[in-house]
Amino acid sequence: MKVLGISFGTKNGTNDSLCIEALMGAQEAGAEIEFIQMSKLNIQHCTGCCTCSKTLLSGKGNMCILKDDFEWLLDKMLDADGIIICDPIFEEGASGLFHTITDRFGPRMDRGNNIIGQKIAAATGGKMSDPRIIQDRVISYMGIGGSDWGTRVQCEHAMQALTPMWKVIDNKWFPWAKSVIMDDTRLAEVHQVGVNIAAAAKDVNAAEYQGEAGFCPHCHNKLFYLDAAHNQATCAQCGIVGKIVFENGKMTFKFAEEELQKAHDTLPGKFIHGNDIKNRIEGEFAKVAKTPEFKARKKQYKDFIKAVNPKKKVTA
Helix (H) or strand (E) holding 4: strand 2-7
Q: Which of 89, 97, 133, 198 binds ligand FMN (CB under 6 A)?
A: 89
Closest residue by Cα to residue 42 from 69, 64, 63, 77: 69
Alpha helices in the chain, H assignment, sequence order = 14-28, 51-56, 70-79, 96-105, 111-124, 153-162, 184-202, 267-276, 284-289, 292-304
Q: Which stretch binds ligand FMN (CB under 6 A): 118-126, 145-153, 278-286, 296-304?
A: 145-153
Contacts of residue 69, Cβ cutoff 8 Å, sequence gap at least 6: 41, 42, 43
Closer residue to ligand FMN (CB): 92 or 103 = 92
Closer residue to ligand FMN (CB): 59 or 93 = 93
Distance CA 255, CA 237 (A): 15
Distance CA 133, CA 150 (A): 30
Count interface residues toward ligand FMN (CB under 6 A): 18
Q: Provide the mask over 147-176, with x wherever binding to ligand FMN is found by CB under 6 A and - wherever it is not.
A: x-xx------------------------x-
Q: Which stretch binds ligand FMN (CB under 6 A): 86-94, 127-135, 188-196, 246-254?
A: 86-94
Q: Which stretch binds ligand FMN (CB under 6 A): 7-15, 54-62, 155-163, 283-291?
A: 7-15
Closer residue to ligand FMN (CB): 15 or 160 = 15
Contacts of residue 267, Cβ cutoff 8 Å, sequence gap at least 6: 111, 112, 115, 165
Q: Is residue 146 a contact point for ligand FMN (CB under 6 A)?
A: yes
Q: Provide the mask over 125-144, with x wherever binding to ligand FMN is found by CB under 6 A and - wherever it is not.
A: -------------------x
Beta carbon of residue 101, minimum distance to ligand FMN (angstroms, whole number): 16
Closest residue by Cα to residue 178 from 145, 200, 210: 145
Q: Is residue 94 a contact point for ligand FMN (CB under 6 A)?
A: no
Beta carbon of residue 145, minimum distance to ligand FMN (angstroms, whole number): 2
DSSP 253: E
The partner residues of 226 in beta bridges, in order of sequence, read 233
SS3 content of the chain, % helix, strand, coil (to 5): 45, 20, 35
Closer residue to ligand FMN (CB): 126 or 175 = 175
Closer residue to ligand FMN (CB): 89 or 109 = 89
Q: Is residue 5 a contact point for ligand FMN (CB under 6 A)?
A: no
**Residues making contact with ligand FMN (CB under 6 A):** 9-10, 13-16, 88-92, 144-147, 149-150, 175
